[in-house]
Amino acid sequence: MNTWLEILLYIQIALSGLCLFRIIKGPTIPDRMVAIDIFGILVVGICAIISVQTGKTFILDIGIAWIILSFIGTLTLAKYLSGKKLNQ
């Protein structure tokens, strides 16, 4: 069971690597921002798999905090894209 979980963890990390490829290559700015958003969601999955593999439950707390922080970051980037101030 543990080896299979480890393989799944490496696959998930490789998928984040694909997102990094899109962040580096992306022809326009919104491309990179979409990839950053998807990267943030993938990290939550990595946290969940690590918490199952090691049995330490506080990593799930990190995952929940990461969801909220990534959400706020994406909203800020989207506000920047539409060319408005943050309080509009």
Partner 1 sequence: MAALIVISIGVLFNLFGCIGLLRLPDVYNRLQAATKCVTLGCCSILLGVLIHFGITDAGIKALIAIPLLFFSATVAAHALVRGTYHFGVKMSDKSVKDDYKEAVK
Cβ proximity of 42 and 71 under 8 Å: no
| DSSP label at residue 80 | H
Q: Binding of partner 1 at residue 86 (CB under 8 A)?
A: no
Of the candidate residues 83, 86, 87, 88, the single one contacting partner 1 (CB under 8 A):
83
Tell me which of 3, 6, 24, 30 binds partner 1, using CB under 8 A: 30
Least gap, CB of 79 to partner 1 (angstroms): 7
| Integer Cα distance of 38 and 52 in angstroms | 22
If one asks whether residue 62 binds partner 1 (CB under 8 A), the answer comes out as no
Here the contacts of 49-58 (C-beta below 8 Å, separation 24 or greater) are 49/5, 49/8, 49/9, 49/12, 50/9, 52/5, 53/2, 53/5, 53/6, 53/9
Asked whether position 81 contacts partner 1 by CB under 8 A, the answer is yes
Residue of 3, 60, 85, 88 interacting with partner 1 (CB under 8 A): 60
Entry field: residues in the chain: 88
Interaction site with partner 1 (CB under 8 A): 1, 4-5, 8, 11-12, 15, 18-19, 21-22, 28-31, 33-35, 37-38, 41-42, 44-45, 48-49, 51-52, 57, 60-61, 63-64, 67-68, 70-71, 74-75, 77-83
